[in-house]
A and B are shown apart, each in its own frame.
Chain A
Amino acid sequence: MTAPIRLVLLTLVLLAVPPRAWAHAFLAKASPPVGSQMPAAPPELTLRFTEGVEPLFCTIELLGPSGAAVSVPAPKAADDGQMLVVALPKLPPGTYTVVWHVTSVDTHKTEGRYQFTIGP
């Protein structure tokens, strides 16, 4: 097979695979920041998205160092509907995973996860 034919075939294959959606509303900024390490847990978790979101149809889960869910209240909207805020309980040191599912104001659903670490 010549290089151009291979390239065309590959292109066709890649075209057949639907492009991966980055998201409609995707995470623009988080606190605690993505991948960060901090000495003590902040009082709340805030996630800022690139579009407005519908708080009633958004969930934020927090998984503890062992992978077990940490119970947190339902998220509240702030900042013109682009930000979700969740009050955090006192968190012992360890690595936590935030799993978010949001519905943007244009009704599309997106999800993602990230980690932060508490400890020296």
Chain B
Amino acid sequence: MDRYEIATALLRGLHVAALLSLFGCLVFRRCVVPKGAVEPPLAAVDRITVVSAVLALVAGGAWLAAVAGTIAGANGIASLLAAVPLVARHTNFGNFVCARLLLLVAVFVPLALQDPRARIAALLIAGAALALQPMLGHIGASSVREILIPIEAAHLLAAGAWLGGLLPLLLCVVRAPQPLAAKLCDRFTPVGLVAVGTIAVTALPQAGELIGGFPGLFGTQYGHMALIKLGLFCLALGLACINRLLLTPRLGSRHLGSGSARRALIGSIAIEATAGLCVVLAAAAMASSPPAAHVQPVWPFAWRPSLDAWDEPELREELERLLIAAACGLVLIGISLIRRRFRFLAAGIALIVFVPFAHSLDLLLVEAFPTSYAHSTTGFSVSAISRGQTLFGEQCAICHDPQTGSGRAADLTASHIWGHLDGDLFWWITNGVTDPEGAALMPGFGSMLSETDLWALIDFIHARNVGAHAADSGKWSPPVPAPATPLNCDGDDIGSLAELGAHDLLVVAEGNPAAPVSALTGPGSIPGAETIRLTHDAGTVPGEGECVTAASTAWEAWRVLSGVSRQRFGGYRAIVDSQGWLRAWLPPRSGREQILAAVRDVNDHPIAADARPASGHRH
């Protein structure tokens, strides 16, 4: 983030914090302050309410101006002033900020009236202004916004009810007579509990959408800010528990010590409120950065969790023993919680049961690299596979291809390559491979090849690898996604096969006069399957109602995936199922009956939704 972006994020944070405070004060007045109370601190609470509304309005206006300046690329005051009305009127963001600012202006009317019913109106208006928040951030642009917008709105309202209520609470504990202070602390508890529960529950689906998982959480700036936010939230929550369980009862008691309890409570609420403000600022910084799910994570640990060991029979036994020991340990801990008399004994036994198996935990961790969870940027396209093929011939074949080179290095068509994450392959090709003593086995290519080229190489390695297996069996197992292949259907450009909709495809390689593609189109076509002509030439004009591939690289890329030689590939047919998986190859001689049977077989045995693809790509 540059300085301008930091200033914009700060304005955003300030504006949202003031809005939360406004809403929180009104909730406090309505739900926490007992009816009919008129003690002096309440007038001060009303003043904070008004100040919050003013601050929210001013900071909101400044935020709109700052964002307008960025969007329009303004480089001076004049162009900034010109940008603000344009952005306000013609963008989604501008419209919603203006709606919010109007609501904030409107809220002054009931605030000025100072009676309970007007205060409810103010509460509703402030709540509506706050609930617009999802429209001003990542969630409003997400593809699942219908579900997430109400969730984020609830998140914000809950945050307002809790954090926004802390300042009035603090003020009352400082100034109110002791009985009222104790009573207010007591009455704040249910509001706080409901709010904290709502915050936690509504955070999860948003994190799922924007962070995605542990790689995004630990490996991106966005994720790190989320961790900071989570830490601060836990701090505030911890203090809230101390206030509730230890300090509030002491404040309420008539014994000595309620004075010191009050002092402790004041300090604790002040820290809680500060932590809350930092949470809001962290959230504003997150809203100004690309969500973790959209950037390449940089995995910070030298190991990562992996269940690969489960697939090895001898290791699986060890893991099963570990699981049983862990289950016994958990049961014992459960018992110790219920029957407190036995708690030390139970905890001791739990430890004795578990410790001998603890070393097996190592099996669940494997070596990892910063790029382990990086995702390919190529989309497994035919052009990437073809680019990778060229690079492989230039850089890698001398060691890795037994036909052309010395071929003494690892066989990249071995099936264990499937077990590697794309990101691990990326790391090895970028940085080289060393033996356990650290001696170089393979040089790194990161300084010679661009990132896109490295991913293209990985696409080719996967394609060639699965091809070597499909050549023998005519089937792909584990499943491989069909490569992204541009098409020309009836004169329309189609970006990729996937856009043809959910039905089977029969991709037929041209170039074999004895098995012409035309035999499988028109009256000869296969029911339920659309035939696509795999051409050598990007400019092939499709016949009426026909689909042809529209990339000069398509034929060769599909050939690599088939594992068949160039001389024999003409006339080959591939079946792609309705989910986009490559499923079966049929040789040119195969007749109509055989094709029909193969299509039926594919449909009778769909790939499980959670199947692990042979290459790391998922469509």
0/1 per residue, B197-209, Cβ < 8 Å to A?
A: 0000000000000
- Is B290 located at the chain interface by the 8 A CB criterion? yes
| B67 on the A face (CB < 8 A) | yes
Within the complex, the shortest CB–CB distance from B222 to chain A, in Å, comes to 8
Chain B residues positioned under 8 Å from A57 (CB to CB): 71-72, 87, 91
Q: In the docked arrangement, what's the CA distance between A42 and B550, Å?
A: 14
B71 close to A14 (CB less than 8 A): no
CA distance A14 to B300 in the complex (A): 9
Give chain A residues whose Cβ lies under 8 Å from the Cβ of B539.
37-39, 120
B296 adjacent to A14 (CB under 8 Å): no
Which stretch (B135-143, B146-154, B324-332, B334-342) binds chain A?
Answer: B135-143
Q: How far is the CA of A29 from the CA of B486 in the complex (A)?
A: 10
Q: A11-B370, A36-B486, A107-B67 are in contact. Are A19 and B93 (CB under 8 A)?
A: no
| Bound Cα distance A108, B438 (Å) | 44
A11 to B372, CA, bound (A): 12
Tell me, rounded to whole Å, the shortest Cβ–Cβ distance linking A102 to chain B.
11
**In the complex the two chains form, is B71's CB within 8 Å of A37's CB?**
no
- Distance in angstroms from A51 CB to nearest chain B CB is 4
Q: CB-CB contacts of B214-227 with A at 8 A, as 1s and 0s? A: 00000111000000
Contact (Cβ within 8 A) A24 B141:
yes
Taken together as a complex, chains A and B put the C-alpha atoms of A56 and B73 apart, in Å, by 12
By secondary structure, the B interface counts as: loop
Instruction: Report which residue of B136, B370, B486 has the largest number of chain A beta carbons within 10 angstroms of its beta carbon.
Output: B486
- The answer to whether A52 touches B302 (Cβ under 8 A) is no
Residues from chain B with Cβ under 8 Å of A42 in the complex: 493
Task: Report the stretch among A1-9, A68-76, A84-92 that lies at the interface.
Answer: A1-9
Q: Which residues of A contact B294 (CB under 8 A)?
A: 21-24, 26
B70 at the interface (CB under 8 A from A): yes
Instruction: State whether the Cβ of B582 lies closer than 8 Å to any Cβ in chain A.
Output: no
Chain A 6-42 interface mask (CB, 8 Å, partner B; 1/0): 0110110011001111111110011111011111001
| Alpha-carbon gap, A36 to B136, bound state (A) | 37
Q: In the assembled complex, how far is the CB of residue B133 from the closest CB belonging to chain A, in whole angstroms?
A: 12
Contact between A105 and B300, CB atoms less than 8 A apart: no
Bound together, the chains give a CA A32 to CA B488 distance in angstroms of 11
Question: CA separation between A42 and B87, bound complex, in Å?
Answer: 32
Majority SS of interface residues in chain A? Answer: loop
Check if B493 sits within 8 Å of A8, measured CB to CB. Answer: no
Answer yes or no: A61 CB below 8 A from chain B CBs. no
CA distance A36 to B72 in the complex (A): 32
Complex contact A33–B493 (CB within 8 A):
yes
- What's the Cα separation between A57 and B72 when bound, in Å? 7
CB proximity of B14 to chain A, nearest CB, Å: 17
The residue that B71 contacts in the complex, of A33, A81, A103, A120, with Cβ under 8 A, is A103
Q: Assess the A18–B486 pair: CB atoms within 8 A.
A: no
The reply to whether A19 and B71 contact each other, CB–CB distance below 8 Å, is no
Residues of A within 8 A of B141 (CB): 24-25, 51-52, 104-106
- For chain B, the count of residues having a C-beta within 8 Å of the partner chain is 47
Residues of A within 8 A of B93 (CB): 54, 105-107
Q: Is A10's CB under 8 angstroms from B370's CB? A: yes
Instruction: Fill in one digit per residue for B528-569: 1 if any A CB lies within 8 Å of its CB, else 0.
Output: 000000000011010000000011100000000000000000
Is B90 touching A106 in the complex (CB atoms < 8 A)? no
A-chain residues with CB within 8 Å of residue B493 when the two chains form the complex:
31-33, 36, 38, 42
The answer to whether B309 has its CB under 8 Å from any CB of chain A is: no
B41-94 with Cβ < 8 A to chain A: 67, 70-72, 86-87, 90-93
B495 interfacial by beta-carbon distance below 8 Å? yes
Q: How far is the CB of A85 from chain B (nearest CB, A)?
A: 14
Does B24 lie at the interface of the complex (its beta carbon under 8 Å from any beta carbon of A)? no
User: A36, B221: Cβ atoms under 8 Å?
Assistant: no
Q: Decide: A23 near B486, CB < 8 A? Known: A38-B539, A52-B92, A103-B71.
A: no
How distant is A105 from chain B, measured CB to nearest CB, in Å? 4
On whether the beta carbons of B538 and A36 are closer than 8 Å, the reply is yes
Given known A-B contacts A54-B71, A105-B140, A105-B141, A36 and B551 have beta carbons under 8 A apart: yes
Central interface residue in A30, A33, A50, A105, by most chain B CB within 10 Å: A33
Q: Which residues of chain A are near B615, meaning CB under 8 Å?
A: none
User: Which one of B296, B486, B552 lies within 8 Å of A20 (CB-CB)?
Assistant: B296
| Nearest opposing residue in chain A for B300, CB measure | A11
Contacts of A50 in B (CB 8 A): 143
Smallest beta-carbon distance B69→chain A, Å: 11
A18: nearest residue on chain B (CB-CB)?
A: B221
Q: Is B295 an interface residue (CB 8 A)?
A: yes
Known: A8-B302, A35-B551, A57-B87. 4 other contacts (CB 8 A): A15-B300, A22-B294, A29-B496, A104-B141
Q: Which 9 residue pairs spanning A and B have beta carbons closest together?
A: A37-B538, A106-B141, A21-B290, A29-B495, A19-B295, A105-B92, A51-B141, A33-B486, A54-B91
The 8 listed contacts between A and B (C-beta, < 8 Å) are: A15-B298, A20-B296, A24-B138, A51-B141, A56-B90, A105-B140, A106-B138, A106-B141
Interface positions of B (Cβ within 8 A of A): 67, 70-72, 86-87, 90-93, 136-138, 140-143, 219-221, 290-291, 294-302, 369-370, 377, 383, 438, 486, 493, 495-496, 499, 538-539, 541, 550-552
